[in-house]
Structure 1
Amino acid sequence: MSDHVRTADGRQLRVEVSGDPRGRAVFLLHGMPGSRVGPRPRPMFLYHRGACLISYDRPGYGGSDRHQGRQVADVVQDVSVVADALELDSFAVVGRSGGAPHALACAALLPDRVTRAAALVGLAPRDAEGLDWFAGMAPSNVDEFRTAYTDPERFAARLIPRSTAIGRDPERLLAQLRKDLTDDDRSIVADTAIRSMMLRNFREALRRSPYGWIDDILALTGPWGFDPADIKVPVLLWHGEHDVFSPVSHTSWLAARIPHSRKVVDPGAAHFTALRALPRIIDWLIGGPVV
């Protein structure tokens, strides 16, 4: 089921619900560039697990209106609006890659509604004390994040034509990433079903504008608007040891600061292995055993 929800400030959010409509609610916060149609378990898997999976386009992506100047913490208002529209008092939340900090924001700022939270292959705050933020990161990501942090106008000017080209031909993004992919990541991206979901996801993310992607990166490299140390709900932090897009040191930093968190590092995995880990993590989010 796909629908639209209107925020208090008049913005429109495009929402998608899959799985068991009466099941335990889990918000899936997509990566970047990403959208509500990003990779997720099949509806039948979700239905059999008793899970209702809710995803929506973050502002500026797909069918959602832009929220210029947004912080990571602003996700809380949007998730709350969607949850209210679906008449949900409580829910779990999971974010992958660029969505992971947004999931942590919900855990920190909605303690009365979020039951459990998971962050997969996520990033730490740009000002994380004691963390060499760029260590172990692919040169392409270092350049992108550093430019966004030091010269946001130049960063946006560079990303706009790139985003337009990828929106027309999503294979371009996978080709650009290929040189930084590990063998494990290459095998996952080569999977026909996963690749099809990824290409559909990129196309939908960028079909209207580049600003979801631009605003995501500016938000991630700016002040987040919350402190991960304030999180009180149970948190699962999952990472692949060989990830070069968001290095595992970021998850280690978060695990040392978030109370009631559990860190899981897959020694043979990299960034896109999170897609295969997601079904197990959804099981945990709805009350299953520790992953």
Structure 2
Amino acid sequence: MEAETGAAAEAGAAAEAVAGAAASDEAVQRDVVLADGRALRVYETDAGDGSRRFRLTVLWQHGSPQTGALLEPLVAAAALRGIRLVSYGRPSYGGSTPNPGRTVFSAAADVEQLADALALERFAVMGASGGGPHALACAAGMPERIVGVATLAGIAPSDAGGLDFFEGMADSSGLRAAQRGRDARQQYELTAEFDPSSFVDRDYAALNGSWASLGADVGRATADGPAGLGGLVDDDVAFAHAWGFDLSQVIAPVLLVQGGLDRVVPPTHAEWMLAHLPHAELWLRPLDGHISVLEACPVVMDWLLALGG
């Protein structure tokens, strides 16, 4: 999702000013080692000493590219609601080991092992932008453990029948390169440039205000330039090819939250998924773009609490 790469640059000094706010002081960081020897860098708002009781655990699937660190608006909203918030860096992001050739559905097996390590029996999943497909993958792969799913500005499958996948995107070049394979997507990244028309005014206001921590985190995720963007490249290749599961396998309730002015993931993607998920509802926010739609996160958490809290 190339537009998010440019977010840090567009946010500029505002993002840098809050560079330390992406992961709250309350968040605990640890590495979870998987059965194949890979490690996932995990963040959570529970110290693990049993001193706090939570109404619900929500696992956050970050956008592309980010480190997986917990962002301040999410931590604050979760704390007010008694939610245990967990996040992790997908392979090649933020200290997590690469997983060459991963698909979207690969996230389900990783999260299942993560959940076992943290003793999570049943929990909800939220995902934004590139995290949306991975949140749905968790529900498809662990139907007995996922109480509900919420996606914000989540992208639809690239092989979605009847959907013009690229229509309405300000810049689809990264995903088009990904369709040609990983080498092509990696080569594209060497000269990739952010298209500022991907974001609307509300997006820029969010990046310079309440969601400045997101811009700062994108800055950290992209600090090493193209050489350090393996996670983004692998995400895009996974999005541009078969996900490894069908939306009909997602039997948990799903909330799709979509900005009507989103030019990164157009509203038609949410509308298509609404028609193909067994138990879904759509909240359309007509004036929001790709970043400002995240302002809905607190009420999205309320929706998840009503399901499993």
Q: Same fold (TM over 0.5)?
A: yes
Contact 2:92 2:99 in 1 (8 A): yes
Q: Is the 8 A contact 2:74 2:297 kept in 1?
A: no
* Moved segments of 4+, more than 4 Å: 205-208
For residue 159 of structure 1, the aligned residue among 178, 189, 203 is: 189
Report the Cα distance in structure 2 between the residues aligned to 1:161 and 1:10, rounded to whole angstroms.
34
Using the TM superposition, give the Cα deviation of residue 22 of structure 1 relative to its aligned residue in structure 2, in angstroms.
Answer: 3.0
Q: Mean Cα displacement is larger for which, 147-156 or 73-82?
A: 147-156
- 1:53-105, Cα deviation, whole Å (9 max, x unpaired): 10000000111000000000000111111111111111000110000001111
Distance 1:284 1:91, change over 3 A: same
Choose the corresponding residue for 2:127, options 80, 95, 102.
95
In the TM superposition, what are the counterparts of 1:12-161 in structure 2 within 5 Å? 12-18=39-45, 22-23=53-54, 24-37=56-69, 39-41=71-73, 43-138=75-170, 140=171, 142-159=172-189
8 Å contact 2:221–2:229 — kept in the other structure?
A: no
The DSSP-based 3-state class of the residue aligned with 2:204 is helix
1:262 aligns with 2:281: yes
Match of 2:217 among 200, 203, 208: 200
Partner AA of 2:197 in structure 1: K
Q: Identify if the C-alpha distance between structure 1 residues 52 and 205 changes in structure 2 by more than 3 Å, giving closer, same or farther.
A: farther
| SS of residue matched to 1:63 | coil
For the residue of structure 2 that corresponds to 1:237, the secondary structure is: strand
% identical equivalent positions: 36
Aligned residues: 274
C-alpha contact 2:65 2:221 (8 A) present in aligned 1: no
Q: CA deviation at 1:229?
A: 1.7
1:286 is paired with a residue whose SS is helix
Q: TM-score, normalised by structure 2?
A: 0.83
Secondary structure of the 2:228 match is coil
Point out where structure 1 has 5 or more consecutive residues left out of the alignment: 163-172
Render the CA deviation track for 1:180-210: whole Å, top value 9, x for unaligned. Answer: 221221221221x522442134314655832
Question: CA 1:278–1:44 in structure 2 vs 1: closer, same or farther (change >3 Å)?
Answer: closer
Does the residue aligned with 2:160 lie in a helix, a strand or coil? coil
1:260 CA drift (Å): 1.3
Q: Normalising to structure 1: TM-score of the pair?
A: 0.88
The alpha carbon displacement at 1:27 in A equals 0.4
Which residue does 2:35 correspond to in 1? 8
Cα RMSD, aligned residues only: 2.1
Letter in 1 for 2:35: A
My pick for the range that moved more, 80-89 or 179-188, is: 179-188
Taking the aligned partners of 1:136 and 1:245, their CA distance within structure 2 comes to 8
SS at match of 1:76: helix
Distance, in Å, in 2 between the alignment partners of 1:118 and 1:281 is 7
For structure 2, the residue ranges without an aligned partner over 5 or more in a row are 1-27
Whether contact under 8 Å (1:19, 1:45) holds in the other structure is: no
